[in-house]
Amino acid sequence: MIMGVKYVQIFGTGIKMGDFATLITSPDAHIHLTTWISGGYEGKITIGNFCLISPGVRISAATNIEIGNSCMFANNAYVSDSDWHDIYDRAQPVGQSEPIKLEENVWVGDRAVICKGVTIGKNSIVGAGAIVTKDVPPNVVVAGNPAKIVKELDQTAKMNASKAPQKVEVVVANPSNSEVNILGELSIFILRIGFSILMIHHGLEKLQDPQGFGEFVVGKYFPFLPGDPVLWTYGAAITQLACPLGLALGIFARLCSLGLFSTMAFAVYFHLLDTGLEGFPLAVVEGHNYAFELSFIYGAISLYFLCAGPGRLALLRKTNKITYYPKTN
């Protein structure tokens, strides 16, 4: 069973899901799996293996909803085994309820509704927007309100149902355009590019005189580092040349940010040893060089990208996918 995913809303304990399921959801189209307790009995939802559940799907049970293997639910499909209120006594919860059963490899279309007491046979398809109020035999297509058979499937054709996935995936789709802060994303992009250019410049500075930097900076202030100080100089320079390129393009941005953050941590340490705080932050000493402040700002920027990632305007954007591998017996 999948629990605790931000846009998958699960209410009740009588919900079981088989292996190798795929749930796709988004901020404006949550998946709802709900069981209701009435008269001491809690409804049950049983979902088989290899099922696909799309954004906005709602499955609500007061008695029992059984979904077979390899079933697919398109966006905003609704399955409910109850009226949820009595026709006359509308203050009475639940109302009439009858179990629902979907046999293997059923495909429920966009915004289709499966009503109480319905059994849908193997391989059948429920068309988009259909309202299913009566049983559906196997190997047919139903559509309309109320749903009626509009086509019979060729039973001699090979039915290719999902049989071999290796994992369970919960995919959070990208937010709608209305939820994207365009100005904010553009600001992050400009900050990322500008910061990367500055870091490249610092890397090129080190390559101007690697011997001098190695002797008077690395060798003097970092005697605890093993090996040749010049090699450490080249290492820092390469880090400040390669990592900004990755960050600017949004390729392995967090790893690149970690590399830049490490160089800035050493830079802050160097400047504090070289010039000290000298009254910082409450006093300003005339003629004193507070160079560590700039390195600290650079470090804070790299730490931000390390934690938050490069933003949406990147070549390798983070996919909002949570994957887990079910236990095998």
Catalytic (active-site) positions: 85
Which of 230, 229, 268, 248 lies closest to 190 in space, CA to CA? 248
**AA letter at 85:** H
Say how far apart CA 166 and CA 3 lie, in whole Å: 19
Q: Where are the beta strands (DSSP E) in 36-159?
A: 37-38, 41-42, 44-47, 52-53, 58-61, 64-67, 72-73, 78-80, 82-85, 93-97, 100-102, 107-108, 113-114, 119-120, 125-126, 131-132, 140-143, 148-152
What length is written for the chain? 329
The torsion angles phi and psi of 11, rounded to 5 degrees, stand at: -125, 120
Alpha helices in the chain (DSSP H): 182-208, 210-213, 219-221, 229-249, 253-275, 292-308
Based on DSSP, count helices (H) and strands (E) in the chain, helices before strands.
6, 24
Contacts with 241 (C-beta within 8 Å, 6 or more apart), sequence order: 200, 203, 204
Say how far apart CA 247 and CA 252 lie, in whole Å: 7
Say how far residue 157 (Cα) sits from the centre of its chain.
37
